[in-house]
Amino acid sequence: MVVVDYLTQTRVRGVVSLLETPRQTRLPRMRYVLLRLGLLWVTVLVVALVATTLLWGVGIQGLVAFLTVLVGSILLGAGLGYFLLPDIEGDYLPVSMRQRQP
């Protein structure tokens, strides 16, 4: 989910990727982005464990449970990325590089 979220924001929504960030603000922005995506990863881990437990509780196990959680995670990552959640742009980019809000 975290990778799909990042790719959706940078490829579909036009947020500047980490490697295109100006050198003087690259390190602070990287910390900013990794903290936010790290928090998202922890949330995803908890939600995936709860979802797996619920699936096992209703009798869905093994590969089917894994694929269900994986597909759900990908779809949720794409949805959150489309709506720019979490914010990975921050105030580290010059105004000329920031994406235009629709």
In the chain, the number of structural domains is: 1
Tens-digit pLDDT profile for residues 13-60? 989 999 998 898 899 999 999 999 999 999 999 999 999 999 999 999
Q: Is residue 78 part of a domain?
A: yes
Query: What is the extent of the structural domain holding 7?
Result: 2-88
Q: Is residue 13 part of a domain?
A: yes
Q: State the pTM of this model.
A: 0.87
Q: Is residue 97 part of a domain?
A: no
Q: Is residue 99 part of a domain?
A: no
Q: Is residue 101 part of a domain?
A: no
Residue with tokens 């779809």: 75
Q: Is residue 39 part of a domain?
A: yes
Cα separation, 63 vs 66, in Å, equals: 5
Tens-digit pLDDT profile for residues 76-101? 999 999 999 999 988 877 777 776 55
Q: Is residue 95 part of a domain?
A: no
Q: Is residue 98 part of a domain?
A: no
